[in-house]
Amino acid sequence: MPIVATAGWSISNNVADRFVKEGSGLARYSSVFSGVEINSTFHRRHKPATFGGWAEAVPNDFLFAVKMPKELTHVRAMEDISQPFGTFLEDISPLGEKRGPLLCQLPPSLAFDADTFKTAFKAKRDLDTGPIVIEVRHKSWTFPEALDLLKTYNVERVLADPAKVWPPHDFGSPPRYMRLHGKPKIYYSSYTDDAIKSFQNLLAPETWCVFDNTASGKAIDNALTMLDLLSK
């Protein structure tokens, strides 16, 4: 079954009765969902003990997708990233087998450059062989050379909504990772049931479907709707 998740694990009051009443917010969240996307790592470092505590709070089959720090993607623009990427891996290592994909979200201004990204992807793969997914926001990433480089280093494309670069019809097979930001107002707008059904049709058993429209608390509602559809 696909992994349906939200960015973070905030539970709004209107759906609180869908979750167990006892435990931390993460423990309650994991009583319903099988994965979560950690976004806070983009903005700041957490102590390894924090990740260890999160791993202990969830069931054995629960997975954490982890967003890469902005130092890599925005500050360094994916240049000279070996040291900070290694530090990031050390920080999150207490997640152990509960670590899912690493999410690399590039800024809209960062165009594809073959030399820069070949060096960056090689640096990542020299240090880690786990799943990596990438969300790009510059049209240059539609170039065949860019797609070939992603395949070479086994970096999966993110299907994002709204789709700035790779629309659904660009994916010949179900995406490994989907990020639904809300539309028309990203991070705020709720998806209709019909829209959620359309995304359901794109999912495969191994797909992550992450609702990122968290600013107005709609992500958890939409994720629960998706779970209900999948369970029918």
pLDDT tens per residue, range 45-97: 999 999 999 999 999 999 999 999 999 999 999 999 999 999 999 999 999 99
Contact 171, 157 (CB under 8 A): yes
Q: What is the mean pLDDT of the chain?
A: 97
For residues 123-128, give the mean pLDDT: 98
Q: What is the pLDDT of residue 232?
A: 87
- pLDDT 10s digits, 8-46: 999 999 999 999 999 999 999 999 999 999 999 999 999
Q: Which of 10, 59, 65 is nearest to 176 (CA)?
A: 65
Buried b (16+ CB within 10 A) or exposed e, 105-116: bbeeebebeeee
Helix (H, G, I), strand (E, B) or coil at 32: coil
Beta strand ranges found along the chain (DSSP E): 3-6, 35-38, 63-67, 99-105, 132-135, 155-161, 177-180, 208-211
For 3-230, CATH number out of 3.20.20.410, 3.30.70.890, 3.40.630.30, 3.40.50.720 equals: 3.20.20.410
